[in-house]
Structure 1
Amino acid sequence: MALSLPRPQRFDVLIAAVSVLSGLALYALGLGTQGDRPLDSPWMLLPLGVLGCMELLRRTAPRVALPVATVALVFDQCTPGNLASVMMFTDIMYAAVVYGTPAAARRIPVTTGAITVAMTIGCLAWWQEPEAVLIGVATGIVAFGPAATGALVRNHREAAAAAKLRAEQTALLAEMDRVQAITAERARMARELHDMVANHLSAIAIHSTAALSLDDPSTTRGALSVIRENSVEGLAEMRRLIGILRDSSDDREPAAAPTLDGLGSLLAHARVNGLDVILDDERAPDGPKLPAPVELAAYRIVQESLTNALKHASPGRVTVALAEEPRALTVRVTSPCGDPSGPRAPGSGAGLVGMRERTELLGGAFESGPESGPDGAPDGKVWIVYATLPVDPADKEVTE
């Protein structure tokens, strides 16, 4: 089976070519690194060529290049020696640590360090001369020095890569948070816009239809009065919302959010629009004040329920009931369920979605649908909207 080696990189080819040419120049000048050796000068060309070939594999196949280069360097010690061969070996040792496997990067510096210490102690014990230390120093320069340098470079590269990865992950998380914040804000704005304006537009649509369909001056005048009142209030709500969106300064005083204290005005406006609505508030008059998000959600749920009753309910009484339960506020709106006798405005279903979203954001429970109603209700059914709103933000879910 033929041995397939990866293609060398251009920079490695350049290093190998310059190194081999330098070694040939030193050979031509008769410059060696050692004195008398068992083999003559021409033999130094063999390790020079082998090391030049291994330079081609310094990055693509360091596990092959280092063992072969080590054998070639040992053979070079049997010749007068060539400085270019030694320099190529140090580069291959460095590349084996930088581009090799993580296990090799940990193992090679330790191994070369141990060889350096062993050579120093062995030569001192053999020759018993201080000059023998120089052999250990030379071994450390040729083997341990490049390995240690490669380990430092690799550690810095890995640290830089890890820092870059952390920065990219941080940027990705920040972008995800930004997108989620924008999505949540858009959903909140959509709910606010729907809850503030839909009630007025529904009343305008119903009363304008009545004015067009009935040829009665008094009815037309009453419908136009209701239409004007709703258009003025709807325009004021729109201007308030646009002002909030345009003014993003931090020193701007925030607009007051509606609370349950405004239910009286909300129900009075619904009666002007033609609803027969009553409020059944079972809360204690001197009870603790509810959190602002809970009051806002309850107010908007009642507001949207009245809007739906105005658009879809049959003639009859609409009841808004508020009650306190342990750690929660319950909102219940009932309206006659059947075919309206008068004009009706089209619905999109966004109101029920908005009420459910408001409830779930507080960790509460929301239900809506027809139920059996009291005697006298059209078709014997009423439409129920029921929401349980936790008053403690720590409560994730409230059960009845």
Structure 2
Amino acid sequence: MAVRLPRPHRFDVVVAAGGLLGGLLMWGIGLGTRPADEPTVLFDGRWPVLLPLLVTAGCELLRRVAPRTALVTGTAALTLDTVTQGNVVTLIMFTDVVYAAVLYGTPASARRVPRVTGLLTVAATVVPFALWRVPEALLIGVAVGVLSFAPASTGLIVRNHRDAALAARLRAEQTALLAEMDRAQAVTAERARMARELHDMVANHLSAIAIHSTAALSLDDPDTSKEALSVIRENSVAGLDEMRRLIGILRDGSGDREPAAAPTLDGLDDLVEGARANGLHVTLRADLGEVPTPVELAAYRIVQESLTNALKHASPGPVAVTLARRNGMLDVRVSSRYGHRDGPRVPGSGAGLVGMRERAALLGGTFTAGPEGTVWTVRASLPVAEGDRPE
């Protein structure tokens, strides 16, 4: 089965056509590289000059799609041209074939062709001079060098520059891709952070509003309705304050306003009082000491979300909140009754558990939540120092 070569490049067609026309013009006016009566001319007359010219022009068509074939065939055509009257255009096209063989050939050819042509140039310089002992013999080496080694070296230099430019462009594209990946990851991380903040800030108050509004609607008791509306108003105001704080975080650095301070563990008493006002029987026991700010915020949000979940899902009974510092870790534990619950309930999406787990993981800590018999327990262990984080 015959191998079908790719179609020649348009520029190569132009080069081949231009070289052929130029060579025919030189042939037409009778201008050759040597006189017809020179002793080295084996094929005298004008017509033998056309064969090397035509073959070399055909090699120009293959200079890009089959550079090795073009070089071998062009070398044979040049050898034939040396025993005819010769055509200067054939020599010029051969130099271009050598140049293209290095530039467009395989990496092995790009290394091998300059070496071979360099050795031929040295041999063509040394051997004739050693045989004839005349300075004119050195011109043979000069001619071989001009026809072979010079275009091969030029092709190697251009190829190296092209490869360097390609490598630089690839590095720039990789850098841009990595920067885009970093930007996307930063945006994703920031969106996740804001989602956690929004959920933790508002879910507690909205859950209380939903439960008490359901109770007010289901009971035909003015006193109960009034008490429920009072709780609803308190949680609405508190939720609005939390939303303002979130807006302050979003505007941080814009120059519009200063962001509100993030909650700390000093606010646990107020958080517990708010949970008690919503109907939970909460006990708090804290043994803290100095805690880094990120750990304070994470612990506060875990307690807040755990109380919100207890308000929505826990059975009647005590809710115990315990924070203790042990062995360089801050242990947070919130337990509540687990089982069938009477009264209004608020459906959950699971986002709160995901947010608590993410907060613990970002600090290098651990988080678990689940039933233990009749008690639902949330446990988080957060490192309070950089060196205490687990690997």
Task: Please give the range of the TM-score, normalised by the shorter of the 2 chains.
Answer: over 0.9
Aligned to 2:382: 389
Find out whether 1:260 has 2:265 as its counterpart.
yes
8 A Cα contact 1:362 1:393, kept in partner: no
Equivalent of residue 58 in structure 2, options 48, 53, 78: 53
8 A Cα contact 1:365 1:397, kept in partner: no
Aligned to 2:81: 76
Aligned to 1:323: 324
8 A Cα contact 2:95 2:147, kept in partner: yes
Q: Deviations over 1:241-267 (max 9, x none)?
A: 123224542796553211111101110
Q: Cα–Cα, structure 1 residues 247 and 217, in superposed 2: closer, same or farther, change >3 Å? A: same
For 2:180, give the aligned amino acid. E
CA distance in 2: counterparts of 1:26 and 1:297, whole angstroms: 88
For 2:63, give the aligned amino acid. R
Instruction: Answer with 126-135 or 315-324: which moved more.
Output: 126-135
Aligned to 1:376: none
Equivalent of residue 159 in structure 2, options 151, 154, 171: 154
Aligned to 1:105: 110
8 A Cα contact 1:16 1:53, kept in partner: yes
8 A Cα contact 2:251 2:257, kept in partner: no
8 A Cα contact 2:286 2:322, kept in partner: yes
For 1:322, give the aligned amino acid. L
Aligned to 2:7: 7
CA distance in 2: counterparts of 1:394 and 1:142, whole angstroms: 70
8 A Cα contact 2:252 2:259, kept in partner: no
Find out whether 1:39 has 2:13 as its counterpart.
no
CA distance in 2: counterparts of 1:70 and 1:250, whole angstroms: 75
CA distance in 2: counterparts of 1:160 and 1:250, whole angstroms: 44
Instruction: Answer with 158-167 or 6-15: which moved more.
Output: 6-15
Q: Cα–Cα, structure 1 residues 250 and 290, in superposed 2: closer, same or farther, change >3 Å? A: farther
CA distance in 2: counterparts of 1:230 and 1:190, whole angstroms: 20
Describe the SS at the equivalent of 2:386.
Answer: coil
8 A Cα contact 2:368 2:380, kept in partner: yes
Deviation, 1:172, is 0.9
8 A Cα contact 2:248 2:258, kept in partner: no
Q: Cα–Cα, structure 1 residues 306 and 50, in superposed 2: closer, same or farther, change >3 Å? A: same
For 2:379, give the aligned amino acid. Y
Aligned to 2:299: 298
Equivalent of residue 283 in structure 2, options 264, 278, 296: 278
- Counterparts in 2 of 1:103-252, with a 5 A limit? 103-249=108-254
Unaligned runs of 5+ in 1: 373-380
Describe the SS at the equivalent of 1:323.
Answer: strand
Describe the SS at the equivalent of 2:142.
Answer: helix
CA distance in 1: counterparts of 2:57 and 2:129, whole angstroms: 33
CA distance in 1: counterparts of 2:169 and 2:387, whole angstroms: 37
8 A Cα contact 1:201 1:230, kept in partner: yes
Deviation, 1:397, is 3.3
8 A Cα contact 2:337 2:376, kept in partner: yes
Aligned to 1:378: none
Describe the SS at the equivalent of 1:78.
Answer: coil
Deviation, 1:282, is 3.2
Q: Deviations over 1:154-180 (max 9, x none)?
A: 111111111111111111111111111
For 2:42, give the aligned amino acid. P
Aligned to 1:350: 351
Find out whether 1:25 has 2:25 as its counterpart.
yes
CA distance in 1: counterparts of 2:357 and 2:346, whole angstroms: 22
Task: State the identity %.
Answer: 66
Unaligned runs of 5+ in 2: none
CA distance in 2: counterparts of 1:250 and 1:112, whole angstroms: 70
CA distance in 1: counterparts of 2:369 and 2:223, whole angstroms: 37
CA distance in 2: counterparts of 1:327 and 1:80, whole angstroms: 95
Describe the SS at the equivalent of 1:274.
Answer: coil
CA distance in 1: counterparts of 2:48 and 2:205, whole angstroms: 101
Q: Deviations over 1:95-131 (max 9, x none)?
A: 0001000000011111111111111111211221122
Q: Cα–Cα, structure 1 residues 395 and 74, in superposed 2: closer, same or farther, change >3 Å? A: farther
- Could you list the structure 1 runs, at least 4 aligned residues long, displaced by more than 4 angstroms after superposition: 250-254
Describe the SS at the equivalent of 1:112.
Answer: helix
Describe the SS at the equivalent of 2:376.
Answer: strand
CA distance in 2: counterparts of 1:394 and 1:185, whole angstroms: 25
TM-score (norm 2): 0.95
Q: Deviations over 1:307-359 (max 9, x none)?
A: 01111111111000111121211100011112223322222111111111111
